Amino acid sequence: MVGTRFFKQALGASAAVTVGVVVLVLSIMAAVDPMAVSPHQEATDSGVLVQKVEYYLPYSGVLPDSPLYKFKALRDRISLWLVTDPAKKAEKELLLADKRIGAAVALLDGGKDKLAVSTATKGEKYLEQAVNRVLGMAEGGKDVKSMLGVLAKATAKHEEMMVGIVGKTQQARSVAEKTLALTSMLHERVDQAVREN
């Protein structure tokens, strides 16, 4: 009787330890590479499988088809111009890029292909500026590991969104494909920098 109870307690304890170790390993893997633990793939309209990236895109606000958008764009340029710290400037450029790619998707869903692609292209220019700024800071010896981590997720998300835009647009497909090529190149550059740092 005593031996059976001890055996059950030992079995229960070893099961709890095993579950704990599995949870710990998965948590560490998720911190290092979230896609290794829970990769999400989705087929686009063209049948291409795209990795779903867990990255938050902020609300884009007023869309470029609004008469008020010119004021928003002016405000964005002025606020970016006023930022002098390179790290904060890169964060602001990334924010503007994220808002533009979200606005592009909303415009595309509204049937405004050309404006959507134009907006996405402008957003990816902001993304390019942010990537170049952070990589320049890394070359200058600054510790930018956390910023590179954010940019790795951001460029992956932007690439995912651009694949969707290319798949849905009809009128401006060639421009969208060029923008996707730029985004893919930025993603590769950031991934390489993450591996080197």
Taking phi first (over 0 means left), then psi (-120 to 50 degrees means alpha), and beta for anything else, what does residue 92 get?
alpha
Among residues of the chain, what percentage have pLDDT more than 90?
Answer: 66
Residue 49 confidence (pLDDT): 53
List pLDDT tens digits, range 69-101.
999 999 999 999 999 999 999 999 999 999 999
pTM exceeds 0.75, yes or no: no
Residue 19 confidence (pLDDT): 60
Judged against a pLDDT cut of 90, whether residue 105 lies above it is answered with yes
Among residues of the chain, what percentage have pLDDT more than 70?
Answer: 77
Q: What is the mean pLDDT of the chain?
A: 84
